[in-house]
Amino acid sequence: MAPPKPRFSAAIFDLDGTITESSSLHLQSFNEVLQQYGIQIPRETWFRIYEGTGAKHIFADALAKKGLLNSVNVEELRAKRRLLFKELAMRQLLPVKGFGQFYDGLRELKVPSIIATNAEESTLLLSLQILKLQDEPRVNSEEAGHAKPDPAVYLLACKRLGKKPAECVVFEDSVSGVLAAKRAGCYCVALLTTTPREELAEAGADMVIEDFSKLTPGMLFVMKR
């Protein structure tokens, strides 16, 4: 999947697994909260089914499979998990390889960008603060009204950027995210940080890369005049 001739004018980034190495931290926080109910999400299941689908859905699905959904307060579990993730992230959260340099390159080309994610607002803000990106525009699926793989969050991101979907490149790492990006009408670059290449390609990714270290903004974006 070779890069296209540069023609895009805006970048949209997913958060977890795309610009932050956070997926394992999320899995750990979910499992610590769920262990009291005898639930442990295997790593393979996390990346195959739950990666990028949002905390509310993950808790609801895991509890429903145990027949516990109607007897557990999901909002309380979400609050506990947020605190656990914060503790883990403050110690261990790192950016995906090459992201910092790639992001700086976007700024040099004056390419506008935005974060669009299924992550809860508090988690999103924490991650951006750790990466010193707290001023980056952002939108999450709760604000958009629907979680990925619904395209709502990416359509809203395009609207915030003042761009048509065909003008935007979405950077993703999960099947649900790639599906959302393509359903929105965006070009999608998928990273191999959490999901096998064949699954990302099957979901419709236009390009699949290991990380940001071998990609430069000039391969995709036209400099703003």
Spatial distance between the Cα atoms of 70 and 67, rounded to a whole number of angstroms: 8
The CA distance from 57 to 64, in Å, is: 10
User: Which DSSP category does 194 fall into?
Assistant: S
User: So what's the pLDDT on residue 143?
Assistant: 94
Confidence category of residue 224, pLDDT binned at 50, 70, 90: low
Average pLDDT over residues 76-103: 94
pLDDT in tens, 95-131: 999 999 999 999 999 999 999 999 888 889 999 999 9
Question: Model confidence at 4, in pLDDT bands (50, 70, 90)?
Answer: low
Looking at every residue in the chain, the average pLDDT score rounds to: 93
Cα-Cα-Cα-Cα torsion 193, 199, 204, 208, nearest 10 degrees, comes to 40
Indicate if the pLDDT at residue 225 is higher than 60.
no
Mean of pLDDT values over 17-38: 93
Residue 53 or 184, more confident = 184
- Strand ranges for the chain from DSSP E: 10-13, 113-117, 138-140, 168-172, 187-191, 207-209
Confidence band for 79, pLDDT divided at 50, 70 and 90: very high
Domain boundaries, the chain: 10-21+94-219, 23-92
Sheet with 10-13, edge to edge strand ranges: 138-140, 113-117, 10-13, 168-172, 187-191, 207-209
CATH of 23-92, one of 1.10.260.40, 1.10.150.240, 1.10.760.10, 1.10.1740.10: 1.10.150.240
d(CA 26, CA 129): 17
Does pLDDT of 51 surpass 90? Answer: no
CA distance 114 to 117: 10
**What is the pLDDT at residue 97?**
96
How far is 81 from 55, CA to CA, in rounded Å?
A: 9
The domain 10-21+94-219 is placed in CATH, from the list 3.30.365.10, 3.90.400.10, 3.50.50.60, 3.40.50.1000, at: 3.40.50.1000
The yes-or-no verdict on residue 23 having pLDDT over 90 is: no
Report whether pLDDT(1) > 80. no
Look at residue 161 in the predicted model and tell me its pLDDT: 97
pLDDT for position 35 = 96
Provide the 10 A C-beta neighbour count for residue 149.
19
Q: Is the pLDDT of residue 53 over 90?
A: no
pLDDT value at residue 222: 83
Q: Give the pLDDT mean for 129-153.
A: 94
Amino acid at 18: T
